[in-house]
Amino acid sequence: MKRKNTYAIFGLGRYGRSVAKELVSSGAEVLAVDMDEEVVRAAISEIPICKCANVTDSEVIKQLGISNFDVVVIAMASCLEASVMATMLCKEAGVKKVIAKCSSEMNCKILEKVGADSVVFPESESGIRLAKNLISSGFIDLIELSSDVSIVEIEVKNEWIGKNLIELDLRRKYFMNVVAVRDHQTIKVNINPELPLTNEMKLIVIAETSSLNALKNH
């Protein structure tokens, strides 16, 4: 079975805490860090691994073992300087994916310039949704229609390349319906089921959460 990703969350305000809690509830390995000791004490009942530390210090980043984490979410939008330093240190440590929360377009541009792989506006993307997207490895976006059914955009698996939708029979195998195909920037809803899939395509599907979990773990 594929190894689960590990996550570190820097900043335990409302947004960071909601990301961390959702990841923990999904069974992920999560390290949560904040500079305020009272905030850490308040969060530890919901997030088992909480540390009080200054993540703008390179020695602290080493001590926390951040280089061993797959994803770091930097949720410290109220302090741009700290966000910039933490982003740079995480990328220098070799973290594959750094996601930074920002409070303005200019801040987003700055964080991207210093190495953030993606940026989020908390007003437009909830911490819970971000966590669900992170947990749903291979799912590019996720929209919950209900507690049981979602629409997701998924990457074409290596074993699907060169095969068409008739051959794959995803409806029978994973109980999911392909509603559109994204090819680069073009989205096609009139799908040719005999068209071979390529690794540049994305499938937009509607499915039950249990089916998506089965696909994720396959």
Give the pLDDT score at 48. Answer: 93
Question: If pLDDT is split at 50, 70 and 90, which confidence band does 187 have?
Answer: confident
Contact in structure between 9 and 20 (CB atoms under 8 Å): yes
Question: If pLDDT is split at 50, 70 and 90, which confidence band does 172 have?
Answer: confident
Tens digits of residue pLDDT in 94-147 = 999 999 998 888 888 889 888 899 888 765 456 666 666 666 555 555 555 566
Share of the chain above pLDDT 70, in %: 84
As a CATH number, domain 139-216 is: 3.30.70.1450
Give the pLDDT score at 147. Answer: 63
Domain residue spans of the chain = 6-124, 139-216
CA–CA separation, 43 and 15 (whole Å): 13
Tell me the average pLDDT of the chain. Answer: 85
Place of tokens 């969350």: 9
Is residue 40 classed as helix, strand or coil in its secondary structure? helix
Give the pLDDT score at 124. Answer: 46
Q: What is the mean pLDDT of residues 15-24?
A: 91
Whether the predicted pLDDT of 169 surpasses 80: yes
Answer yes or no: CATH 3.10.450.710 is held by domain 6-124: no
Whether the predicted pLDDT of 73 surpasses 60: yes
Tens digits of residue pLDDT in 60-70 = 999 999 999 99
Name, in order, each residue with C-beta under 8 angstroms of 80's C-beta and a sequence gap of 6 or more: 103, 107, 110
Question: If pLDDT is split at 50, 70 and 90, which confidence band does 13 have?
Answer: very high
CA–CA separation, 132 and 96 (whole Å): 18
Contact in structure between 101 and 123 (CB atoms under 8 Å): no
DSSP 73-126: EE--TT-HHHHHHHHHHHHHTT-SEEEEE-SSHHHHHHHHHTT-SEEE-TTTS-
Please report, to the nearest 10 degrees, the dihedral formed by the alpha carbons of residues 180, 210, 96, 125 taken in order.
70
Give the pLDDT score at 143. Answer: 59
Q: Residue 11: which of 94, 93, 115, 90 has the closest Cα?
A: 90
Give the pLDDT score at 183. Answer: 84
**Identity at 203, one-letter amino acid code:** L
Give the pLDDT score at 171. Answer: 87
